[in-house]
């Protein structure tokens, strides 16, 4: 097999089981390899280290499939990895009975560049790197065998594929779209939500916020709630289910808000008279609310990814600070702020610093009541801190 030889001293991260090999660590490629092919990774002295997927167009020149240099990468390998990921989730009591669930979480499940989410009897798969793209048939077959799902849809329509020398792609790989009368939906903590696997964000829904939406429900009783960047209303409907006195939800997307209203209609047990939806730029709308002297007891700030990489962190930090200053100024004394960042370029320590600076600018004394993260079906491998993309804080302000 073709060998990928590393420069002297560049094997330490692999010894610590980090699955990425950057271009700056590579000495040479001995032999020929096409995009996505499996190569043997060896240290400068020739010692075997791993087997990885070759990606000649990416700064991440290879992603490790196995740290066992003798393990064969074939269809059976993917069957084992997919089955193991699903079995790990089945062993967690808090994930049992969920009909919306992440089945594969990339590097943290030993499958770099592979994401798979299950919505009822539909699996949505996203392949973002050269290796998974090469093994598409094997991965899809393994998912079908392990889940028995009737439908598999691919959402590899992400720009990051271009960095791998791949074109974005999407479409049904198994089965076909359900009839309109059977539009896809899931039930999360007693609330039914529509899922648009074809046109929705990510794979159709933000499964990573499941536990945090439940916490919102537990905190909402009797409170005036403001949900910013509400998308299709996940936090909003959970707040209503928790007995919120009122819920104002803001998003710039009209289609998302229409879906949110449809979701509310799917749940007649919720008091729709307590819900208000506004289509507006969140930053501008928060300034208007302050001018109107509106105040809230619980505010959710779950903005989109402001920093896709560390190179964008400084600019993104300003946006995160601005939105948190605006939120802090709208809180009643003793009010609660649930604030999040899904930007990989913003680490937990940096995010806390941003929120702390926002509190100072807003003239508020505040304390962290709880640190928030993704649900347990989005695990973070100990050797892959980059997997901890979602971080949040539950803050109380005086």
Annotated active-site residue 342? The verdict is yes
Compute the CA torsion angle 139, 202, 347, 356 (nearest 10 deg): -160
Which of 149, 228, 230, 342 is catalytic? The answer is 342
**DSSP alpha helices (H): ranges in 162-304?**
210-219, 234-241, 254-265, 282-291
- What residues have CB less than 8 Å from 15, skipping those under 6 apart? 49
The two most distant CA atoms of the chain are separated, in Å, by 70
Strands (E), the chain: 3-6, 20-22, 26-30, 38-42, 48-54, 60-66, 100-105, 114-119, 122-127, 151-156, 169-174, 185-188, 191-194, 224-228, 246-251, 275-279, 296-301, 331-341, 366-373, 391-397
Instruction: Name the token pair of 157.
Output: 């329509």
Beta strand 114-119 with 122-127: parallel, antiparallel or unpaired?
Answer: antiparallel
For the purposes of burial, counting CB atoms within 10 Å of the CB of 142, is it exposed (0-12), middle (13-18) or buried (19 or more)? buried
The sign of the CA dihedral 279, 285, 286, 289 is negative
Buried b / exposed e over 150-170, threshold 16 CB at 10 Å, is ebbbbbbebeebebbebeeeb
Instruction: Compute CA 146 distance to the chain's CA centroid, rounded to the nearest angstrom.
Output: 23
Sign of CA dihedral 58, 104, 202, 226: negative
Cβ neighbours for 42, distance < 8 A, ≥ 6 positions apart? 3, 4, 5, 6, 48, 49
**Of 261, 43, 21, whose CA–CA distance to 130 is shortest?**
21
Q: Which two tokens stand for residue 103?
A: 């089945």
Helical packing angle, 313-329 and 282-291, nearest 10°? 30
HSE-up (13 A, CA, CB side) for residue 10: 19
Query: How many residues can be counted in the chain?
Result: 398
Active site residues: 342
């Amino acid at each position: 097999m073709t060998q990928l030889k590393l420069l002297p001293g560049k094997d330490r991260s692999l010894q610590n089981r980090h699955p990425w090999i950057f271009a700056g660590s590579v000495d040479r490629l001995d032999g020929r390899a096409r995009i996505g092919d499996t190569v043997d990774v060896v240290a400068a002295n020739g010692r075997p280290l791993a087997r990885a997927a070759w990606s000649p167009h990416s700064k991440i020149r290879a992603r490790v499939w196995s740290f066992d240099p003798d393990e064969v990468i074939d269809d059976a390998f993917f069957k084992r990895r997919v089955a193991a990921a699903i079995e790990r989730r089945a062993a967690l009591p808090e994930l049992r009975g969920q009909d919306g669930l992440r089945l594969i979480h990339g590097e943290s499940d030993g499958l770099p560049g592979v994401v798979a989410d299950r919505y009822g009897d539909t699996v949505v798969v996203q392949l973002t790197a050269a290796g998974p793209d090469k093994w598409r048939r094997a991965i899809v077959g393994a998912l079908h065998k392990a889940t028995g799902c009737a439908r598999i849809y691919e959402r590899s329509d992400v720009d990051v594929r271009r960095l791998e020398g791949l074109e974005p792609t999407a479409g049904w790989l198994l089965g076909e779209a359900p009839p309109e009368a059977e539009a896809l939906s899931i039930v999360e903590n007693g609330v039914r939500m529509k899922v648009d696997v074809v046109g929705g964000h990510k794979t159709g829904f933000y499964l990573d916020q499941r536990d945090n939406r439940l916490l919102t429900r537990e905190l909402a009783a009797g409170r005036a709630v403001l949900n910013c960047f509400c998308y299709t209303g996940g936090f909003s409907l959970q707040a209503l289910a928790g007995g919120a006195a009122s819920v104002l939800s803001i998003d710039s997307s009209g289609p998302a808000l229409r879906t949110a209203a449809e979701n509310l209609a799917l749940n007649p047990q919720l008091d729709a008279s307590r819900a208000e939806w506004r289509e507006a730029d969140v930053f501008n709308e928060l300034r208007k609310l302050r001018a109107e002297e509106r105040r809230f007891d619980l505010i959710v700030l779950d903005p989109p990814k402001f920093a896709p990489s560390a190179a964008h962190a400084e600019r993104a930090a300003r946006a995160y600070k601005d939105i948190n200053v605006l939120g802090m100024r709208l809180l009643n004394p003793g009010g609660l702020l649930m604030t999040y960042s899904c930007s990989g370029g913003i680490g937990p320590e940096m995010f806390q610093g941003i929120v702390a600076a926002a509190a100072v600018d807003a003239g508020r004394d505040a304390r962290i009541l709880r640190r928030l993260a993704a649900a347990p079906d989005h695990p973070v491998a100990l050797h892959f801190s980059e997997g901890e993309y979602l971080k949040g804080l539950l803050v109380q302000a005086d």
